[in-house]
């Protein structure tokens, strides 16, 4: 689990069962977007 996710999950106000799942999905979406962006950059800027 990511540090940011752990910190939010430990927050006492963060008690809805769906919240950790939603955060995991958001973090995965961010990783996917970063990977896609990196792929596009690699195409545009060859080594």
Summarised one tens digit per residue, pLDDT across range 2-34 is 676 666 666 666 678 888 899 999 999 999 999
42 or 8, which is more confident?
42
pTM, to two decimals: 0.58
Distance CA 30, CA 3 (A): 15
Under 8 Å between Cβ of 23 and 5: yes
Q: How confident is the model at residue 1 (pLDDT cuts 50, 70, 90)?
A: very low
Under 8 Å between Cβ of 20 and 5: yes
Structural domain that includes position 33? 3-9+18-44
Count: domains in the chain: 1
Under 8 Å between Cβ of 25 and 43: no
């Amino acid at each position: 689990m990511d540090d940011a996710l752990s910190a939010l999950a430990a927050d006492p106000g963060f008690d809805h069962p769906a919240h950790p799942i939603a955060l995991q999905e958001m973090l995965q979406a961010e990783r996917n977007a970063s990977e896609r962006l990196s792929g596009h950059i690699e195409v545009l800027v060859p080594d």
